[in-house]
Amino acid sequence: MTRTAEKIDALVREDSSMADALESVREAADRNGGEVQWADVGDELTSGQWGRLIEKGVLIDGDEGFEIADREAFDRALDGDGDGGGTAAADIDIDEDESSWSQWDKLAGLAALLLMPGYWFNSIRNVVGSTVNAVLGPIDAVLPFYAVILTVALITGLYSSLLQANLMNTERMGKYQERLQAVQDEQKDLRKQKKEAEERGASDAEIERLENELERAREEQMEAMADNLGMFKEQFRPMVWIMLLTIPMFLWMYWKIRTEGLTGAEATAILPIAGAVDWQSGLVGPMPAWIVWYFLCSMGFSQLLRKSLNIDMSPSTA
């Protein structure tokens, strides 16, 4: 766990007195065969500092008390060897707790999953469709169906853009990418140093040191890649809310066309390039015309709204 060094660096930056607290923990662990209990360090640490060490995973459960998660990284970070624990990404601090989903996010994801069977089961689709019809029915009554789909696409594009802007932390996503890039740059630099050392006939000890550093950097890269799960969670968090709001609207359109049925002029539409088409006929392969029309309108409105509202979803490294 090379992340231990990063956590220690972050704790010390937050509270300079934490360095003395960490030293006390190390001394107590040395005295007690590698484990430490609150009674061993209660005079040197505050309860808040002790709690932070456990919360951040610097101390983990042992047989009788707690033990240091990664003693080698702990010593390296505390003694200042290798510039911040020897990790290229040590200065890029990411609070993993902030990336966790709230209870409401999880409930929204669960509700969206419960709505998805409506695409296959008529009973669910009928309930959702008739419920949403209370809101969209008046719009459908005054507009042709192609304009209704366009209106739904505008609404979904608006709240999708706003949800992504407010729920996705692009700065934290940028930190994940920056940390991975820092580790990759360090590996490249170490390979170059090792090659130069071999060409000039450096000692076996120096080459071995560089090999160890390179191996550590590889392990750190694997951890950084695994930590990209946090970036995926950041990207997917607004998606559960978008799905929760969009699936009912989509099921309403499905219900309106397949269950209620469209008659007369509403059953067909004149679309760009395609010309006159039946809403239920396949337009792009087996994909019905109404779905193609919705996606085209939705993507177009989403781009226009993001430009007009100045919403940038690119990871920020500021």
Regarding pTM above 0.85, the answer is no
Token representation of residue 48: 């808040």
Q: Using one digit for the tens of pLDDT, what is the confidence trace for 179-205?
A: 777 778 878 887 888 888 888 887 787
- Distance CA(58)–CA(1), nearest Å, equals 10
pLDDT in tens, 255-300: 888 776 666 667 677 777 777 777 777 777 777 888 888 888 888 8
Note the pLDDT tens digit of each residue in 81-112: 544 444 545 455 555 555 567 888 889 999 99
- C-alpha–C-alpha distance, residues 290 and 141, integer Å: 18
Position with higher pLDDT, 99 vs 234: 234
Inter-axis angle of helices 18-31 and 3-14, nearest 10: 130
- Average pLDDT, integer, range 125-146: 90
**Measured between alpha carbons, how far is residue 298 from residues 11, 43, 248, 272, 291 in Å?**
45, 62, 15, 15, 10
**Paired strand residues for 269:** 277
Residue 69, pLDDT score? 79
Give 228's pLDDT tier (boundaries 50, 70, 90): low
Looking at residue 128, what is its pLDDT? 92
Is residue 180 within 8 Å of residue 228, measured between CB atoms? yes
pLDDT tens-digit readout, 74-85: 877 777 654 444
Percent pLDDT > 70 in the chain is: 85
Model confidence pLDDT, tens digit, residues 24-82: 888 888 888 888 888 888 888 888 888 888 887 888 888 888 888 777 778 777 776 54
Q: Which residue do the tokens 């911040």 mark?
A: 84
Alpha carbon distance 111, 82 (integer Å):
49
CA quadruple 158, 163, 164, 166: dihedral sign:
positive
DSSP summary character for residue 63: S
